[in-house]
Amino acid sequence: MKHVTTIIIGAGQAGLAMSKQLTDRSIDHVLLERGAVANSWKTERWNSLRLLTPNWQSRLPGYRYTGNDPDGFMDMKQVVSFLDGYASTIAAPVEHHTKVLSVERRFDSYVIKTTRGIWSCASLVLANGACAVPVIPKCASAMPETIQHVSPLDYKSPDQLPQGGVLVVGASATGVQLAREIHQSSRPVTLSVGEHIRLPRIYRGHDIKWWMDALGLLDMGLDEVEDLSRARKLSSLQLIGSDNGTMLDINHLRSLGVDIAGRLAGINNGKAQFSGSLSNICDLADLKMGRLLDSIDEYATQYMADQQLPPPHRYAPTDFGAPPNLQMALNDGRINTVVWATGFRPDYSWLDLPVLDRKGNLNHTGGIVDAPGLYALGLPFMRTRKSTLIDGVGDDAAYLADHLRAGLHRRAA
Amino acid sequence: MTNQTQTETVNNGVNVEALLGAREALEATPAAAQFKWRAECTWKDGTHSQTTINNFFGLGEEQERGRTFTIDADHPEQFAAANLGATPVEIVMSALASCLTGGVASVAQHRGIQLNSVTASVEGDMDLQGILGIDSKVRNGFDAIRVNFQIDADASDADIKALVAQSQKRSAVFDIITNPTNVFVNVN
């Protein structure tokens, strides 16, 4: 058994940011990585995906984007190369192709069995990714057997899907992006729409992420939101990283010919049943977007020479067309594929520690898990709204590294 | 802070603190959140029936209300009936409007919005060729239901719309109507 003070599971942006913080504090550590650096970005993302955040926002402790296109959006190759560059810059001690099989507590250490030997450590950082396992609704099991199921982790491009109609379930970032490119591949898409967050990509001349950053929304912390568990469950923003500023909302998808249906409510006798609540779902999204644009306009008036900006603008309400169908046959050959863009969760299946709640979520306070020397990184709204962003994980890592070091000192004392 | 200060002066007759307390308690003990609602319906004559409602199960035990509510249902004279109550479908519409209206009051209280008046008008479209068995392609139930709210409140139009939207999001009857439910009918 090999021993090291601290082990980081995962060598993506979160693990690397923590590695940098530990190196800066002279804490010996290794990163256990099931594949190579940035593995999820490399192997579990679709071909056309670009980051939702502009390049200038790719900032990590001691490292940032320095190319000549700060307002562009990295594709996956660029993300991998960006993180590879970070790993070499900080000389991260990564153990590649080392998959964690189990983690248990033995006396005052964590014992980690991997495909390449056993490790023990005093403190452990779970930086293994918030999007490791697709969350698929229970009703999926009632799908007719002829339907092919695709998760966004396996999806690469429309070519891999059978010809014919596709039901895309979920209208957050993943759902709207996949709905568009699949529909444009001559596979007619029906998009099942649940609660979502509608936003323009560019507003009054600035990227929406620029505004959110300027307004301090991304820095909002645990004490600043009324309902933290709700903030942690919010779906991703309905955005696409694209150079032409497309607003990839329901109105845009409809203009391309995508059929819009309500939230998938059940599957019975070979038919998908959709909720009749679509009108309210769209109202909620429109009202929420209106409140954000109001705050942006207030900010512009107060802090910017807003006469020099393009004028305030309000977008047409979401129009999902004629009263949408409440059910759709899944056994008449018109739909051959369902894409589950219904969210993700972290994988803790190998974690033999009593730190999960009854829903399988990690019990933690701002990344400090309810077990000695155990930390998490990169979870939704872990410490701030940007905790899941490349731009947010650095601050979280710095805070947790201080806490981790203090814990090590207490052990030594 | 602003919300709390406002809550002190706003009174819609909703005890938000108790509701939030209940939410916290039931989050900690999910078993206590398992409720069973009950109603008992007795045939009177013709299409007239009378439903009584009293006890329910919740918070881990049988609950008594101390009074029994009675709801009469019948069909109108146009259907050659005695017209001794609203039709069951109208009672469903009433349940939807009541649920949304109660929700509007609760959300308004929570958000520190004083309501002056709230009226919900409900209209449901139904093609009777369904229930009469004239056309099997026509469903028995509503094709669509429209609820129109008239709300006078000390808030902006956008805030009032957000109240109504949030009320739908949290409404049991809205969910019951917009989503499928397994129904099991037994004969003892």
Q: Which residues, in sequence order, are CB contacts of B92 under 8 Å at separation 6+?
A: B177
Domains of chain B: 33-86 (no CATH), 87-179 (3.30.300.20)
Task: Verify whether the Cβ–Cβ distance A265 to B179 is below 8 Å.
Answer: yes
Instruction: Please write the tens of the pLDDT for every residue from B87-145.
Output: 999 999 999 999 999 999 999 999 999 999 999 999 999 999 999 999 989 999 999 99
Residue A407 has pLDDT above 60, yes or no: yes
Three-class DSSP category at B45? strand
Instruction: Please write the tens of the pLDDT for every residue from A163-200.
Output: 999 999 999 999 999 999 999 999 999 999 999 999 99
Which tokens in the block code for residue A255? 């203009």
Mean pLDDT rounded to a whole number for chain A: 95
Q: How confident is the model at residue A284 (pLDDT cuts 50, 70, 90)?
A: very high
- Residue percentage of chain B with pLDDT more than 90: 81
Which tokens in the block code for residue A52? 């939702």
Residue A222 has pLDDT above 60, yes or no: yes
The pLDDT, as a whole number, for residue A171 is: 97
Q: What is the mean pLDDT of residues A85-104?
A: 98
Q: How confident is the model at residue A70 (pLDDT cuts 50, 70, 90)?
A: very high
Distance CA B72, CA B99 (A): 19
Provide, as residue numbers in chain A, all residues whose Cβ is less than 8 Å from the Cβ of B171. none
Cα dihedral: A216, A221, A226, A227 (round 10): 120
Three-class DSSP category at A379? coil
**Angle, in degrees to the nearest 10, between helices B157-169 and B88-110:** 120
The pLDDT, as a whole number, for residue A61 is: 95
Q: Which residues, in sequence order, are CB contacts of A152 under 8 Å at separation 6+?
A: A46, A134, A174, A178, A339, A340, A341, A344
Top residue of A278, A286, A287, A359 to mutate, by most chain B CBs within 10 Å, is: A287
Instruction: Please write the tens of the pLDDT for every residue from A387-401.
Output: 999 999 999 999 999
- Per-residue three-class SS string for B140-184: CCCCEEEEEEEEEECCCHHHHHHHHHHHHHCCHHHHHHHCCCCCC
Distance from CA of A26 to the nearest CA of B (A): 41
Place of tokens 């994988």: A347
Q: How confident is the model at residue B8 (pLDDT cuts 50, 70, 90)?
A: low
By Cβ distance, the residue of B161, B165, B178 closest to A275 is B178
Q: Given CB atoms, is A257 within the 8 Å cutoff of chain B?
A: no
CA distances from A35 to A38, A41, A67, B147 (A): 8, 11, 27, 55
Task: Verify whether the Cβ–Cβ distance A287 to B30 is below 8 Å.
Answer: no
Residue A413 has pLDDT above 80, yes or no: no
Q: What is the mean pLDDT of residues A151-164?
A: 96
Q: Given CB atoms, is A106 within the 8 Å cutoff of chain B?
A: no
Instruction: Please write the tens of the pLDDT for every residue from A240-260.
Output: 998 789 999 999 999 999 999
Q: Given CB atoms, is A66 within the 8 Å cutoff of chain B?
A: no
Q: How much is the pTM? A: 0.92
Q: What is the mean pLDDT of residues A13-37?
A: 97
Residue A267 has pLDDT above 70, yes or no: yes
- Residue percentage of chain A with pLDDT more than 70: 100
The pLDDT, as a whole number, for residue A84 is: 97
Instruction: Please write the tens of the pLDDT for every residue from A346-378.
Output: 999 999 999 999 889 999 999 999 999 999 999
Distance CA A319, CA A303 (A): 34
Task: Verify whether the Cβ–Cβ distance B180 to A266 is below 8 Å.
Answer: yes
The pLDDT, as a whole number, for residue B25 is: 85
The pLDDT, as a whole number, for residue B7 is: 46
Domains of chain A: 2-132+346-412 (3.50.50.60), 134-340 (no CATH)
CB-side neighbour CA atoms (13 Å) of B188: 0
Q: How confident is the model at residue A321 (pLDDT cuts 50, 70, 90)?
A: confident
For residues A28 and A133, is the Cβ–Cβ distance under 8 A?
no
Q: What is the mean pLDDT of residues B15-38?
A: 88
Q: What is the mean pLDDT of residues A99-104?
A: 98
